[in-house]
Structure 1
């Protein structure tokens, strides 16, 4: 049993809470559940001290209402200035650019994700075909003979693609590459791809005025989370808690 000031949290309550905290091990799930219940109890206790209306049970519809009022009363949350938004915009231009456009052709050597032998064979063949292309063979001809993608009927061409049109593991590699034949096969859940980028049109940076509001919302939420975490930490330090050691927790609140 865990004691939080004058209130108790039973093992049954922790077991019931575990369903909301999936984790790799039962112990980790129990720790996360216990921490959540302790923090919730501390917040409710503090809210009652301030005269806010709080129901006795956790996870009720009133919780969000009292929590907002509690944070408003006790936590100072600064708002991002225009200068801070401009600085974030300047330091993170890649976040505010439209997607580049790539003109791509490929050969897909299919291999099931769970078939290790098939994937080894597909990678080996892909490397051999890349060597053939480097020696002057034509990608369209190899695509017709080897590719498992319907694009083999159009010389391996995928046309113009932008971010979000293909699977993430494929995109990560091709959008960071320069035009030309990629010297190594690109692995995806479908197998191995031999990729040729015919053309790359860089994305355009959106003007600051178009993203200023989103930047402000992002920075304000980031500051809010940090301020609330620090507030919870202060409540924990000022409280009498037995049966749980926050020093053993890997919660972001404790970092």
Structure 2
């Protein structure tokens, strides 16, 4: 079925040219097709408003500048962000972590795997000295060969769901439940933690202001894009909830 955006039919060549920019997305073809469709909607609006169209990028940027006006974040907002998210501005924070991974794969039944993981966790909670032995016997991570040790980890080095948990644990603590991540089921022990120190507000005020301003622009741009989508004549593609092609 052809994809029509107002009076333009999107071609395979346009999608092919856009595709390399979206290879890290879960569905690159869909994301590329959506980006092309949205770009045409934005270019049509720029033309309707009589904005200069020296290039597609310049036209879309001119549309953004003319239609979205946002002030810089004030100091109160910046300080509130700083106080609500101290972990983002803490440096030198480290945890020494051991884990046992029960990897979830299509060929492994989840029920028996979870049962084995739960049984192993209970054994370790009763006798923490078993941790390294069980890691060598059962872990699907290469760290199992060294008793489950992942070494020292700083923020940003692991997946978010793992990071949130280990940086909230105390030295010597074994998580009393299984942690489920995109990799599987984990038994976790924090051997030692170094708390680091919080950077002074004055040192991070400008980056916070810039980040909040960028976030506001992003939210306003998405809202404006959806408004234009609602006005456009769209056939052959679902654009509800899509972001603009400037937002990767």
Q: TM-score, normalised by structure 2?
A: 0.67
**Which of 44, 49, 55 does residue 41 from structure 1 map onto?**
44
**Which of 69, 77, 98 does residue 76 from structure 1 map onto?**
69
- Tell me the equivalent position of 2:106: 114
CA offsets 1:140-186 (integer angstroms, 9 cap, x no match) = 56247624456556554444322344455543443344442222333
**2-structure distance, mates of 1:243, 1:151:** 52
Correspondence list, 1:131-142, <5 A: 131-136=122-127, 138-139=129-130, 142=133
- Tell me the equivalent position of 2:167: 175
* More displaced 10-residue stretch of structure 1: 16-25 or 95-104: 16-25
Asked which structure has the greater CA Rg, the reply is 1
**2-structure distance, mates of 1:153, 1:248:** 49
**2-structure distance, mates of 1:24, 1:152:** 34
Q: Secondary structure at the match of 2:71?
A: coil
Q: Which runs of 5+ in 1 are unaligned?
A: 56-61
C-alpha contact (below 8 Å) 2:120/2:134 kept by paired residues? no
**Which of 234, 240, 247 does residue 249 from structure 1 map onto?**
240
RMSD, aligned CA: 4.3
**Which of 158, 161, 164 does residue 153 from structure 2 map onto?**
161
Q: Secondary structure at the match of 2:119?
A: helix
Q: Which runs of 5+ in 2 are unaligned?
A: none
**2-structure distance, mates of 1:150, 1:25:** 31
**2-structure distance, mates of 1:144, 1:27:** 41
1:222 pairs with 2:215: yes
Correspondence list, 1:1-255, <5 A: 8-9=7-8, 11=9, 13=10, 16-19=13-16, 20=18, 33-48=36-51, 52=52, 54-55=53-54, 62-72=55-65, 75-98=68-91, 100-109=93-102, 111=103, 113-117=105-109, 120-136=111-127, 138-139=129-130, 142-143=133-134, 146-148=137-139, 151=143, 154-178=146-170, 179-187=172-180, 192-228=185-221, 242=233, 249-251=240-242
CA offsets 1:78-121 (integer angstroms, 9 cap, x no match) = 22233332232223323222364223333445x4622223x544
**1-structure distance, mates of 2:144, 2:111:** 22
